[in-house]
Amino acid sequence: MLEILRAHGLDAGPTQRPLLAGMAASIVADIPALGLLQAFGSLGALAQATHASVFLPALAYIGLMLLGGVLYGWLFQRAANDPRGGWLFGMAFGFVLWMLGPIPLLQWLPAQPLLTGYPAVGLLLGELLWGLVLGVAFPYVHRPLRPNLSAQLAPPTARTGPQAACDPHLARGR
């Protein structure tokens, strides 16, 4: 394992796009998380606290989770592509984001906590679900975003490999 890390490293290469993949996977993960937040009344409680419609907290959640997806891609880079361990990376990341974002902003800083009871539990479960879906979706979203260098370097009619060795038109030095 150490030899592989020395040869390939943990940093994403120039052809990989972990930040864009994190953002796209975050959009996928926002859908079930917003449904869970709505079911537990978290969005309604935030809307009531801000004296706005439910649309405003949902939009703020989507925007902040897009930044979270970019941070996920930047932080984990090549490790985020693991289809077997991505769910664990994602859930752990969702839990860390819950601890660093909503808890200080919604529970500690105001004079009274904005979310209590079911809405507070819904926020925790929403972050965990978001992280789970983000970690599972990241490798599948990332695959189409990586360019295929072999298709860009060789024209579609060029022959490579054993077929090129047998082709008399490609012979060199004759």
Q: What is the pLDDT of residues 82-138, one digit of tens each?
A: 788 888 889 999 999 998 888 777 777 777 777 888 988 999 999 999 999 999 998
The listed range with the strongest mean pLDDT (8-12, 13-17, 137-141, 157-161) is 137-141
In DSSP notation, 114-171 reads S--SHHHHHHHHHHHHHHHHHHHHHHHHHHHHS--HHHHHS-TT---THHHHH-GGG-
Averaged confidence pLDDT in the chain = 80
Q: How confident is the model at residue 173 (pLDDT cuts 50, 70, 90)?
A: low
Q: Give the residue, 129 or 151, on which the prediction is more confident.
A: 129
pLDDT at 1: 47
DSSP annotation of 33 reads: H
Q: What is the pLDDT of residues 34-50, one digit of tens each?
A: 999 999 998 998 888 88
